[in-house]
Amino acid sequence: MSSQLEPLLKLIVPPSLDLKVSHQQFEQLATANRDLRLERTAQGKLIVNPPTGWETGKRNLSITRQLGNWYEENPEKGEACATSERGFFEAVRVAWPKAFR
């Protein structure tokens, strides 16, 4: 007997397929699939992100630690959310540009 569990559902979306959903459709889809990491762009494009596993969890923990260390040194610059230029409220994102830029 295998110790690994097979997924109940496997979704394969070819990169050439452009899935678009309305705001209401996205809410229904996200509510019905709370275990999936779904996003919707301002243009309505549906993005399905893979779940995090051990390796990505370890990397995310390192990023979170580095961000927390930076915030401790710069509390006046750290905001959890911001209003975008287009008027919607979103979480602040973090990026590490490559050194050659």
pLDDT in tens, 12-48: 767 787 788 888 898 888 888 877 778 888 888 888 8
Same-domain check for residues 60 and 91:
yes
Residues written for the chain: 101
Residue 9 lies in a domain: no
Q: What residue numbers bound the domain in which 24 lies?
A: 15-50
Give the count of domains, the chain: 2
Same-domain check for residues 91 and 67:
yes
Residue 59 lies in a domain: yes
Question: What is the value of pTM for the model shown?
Answer: 0.43
Same-domain check for residues 67 and 84:
yes
Alpha-carbon distance of 33 to 6, in angstroms, equals 18
Q: In which residue are the tokens 């927390």 written?
A: 68
Residue 6 lies in a domain: no
Q: Is the pLDDT of residue 85 over 60?
A: yes
Same-domain check for residues 44 and 64:
no
Task: Quickly list DSSP for 50-101.
Answer: PPP-HHHHHHHHHHHHHHHHHHHH-TTT--SEEE-TTS-EEEPP-----TT-
Percent of the chain with pLDDT over 90: 0
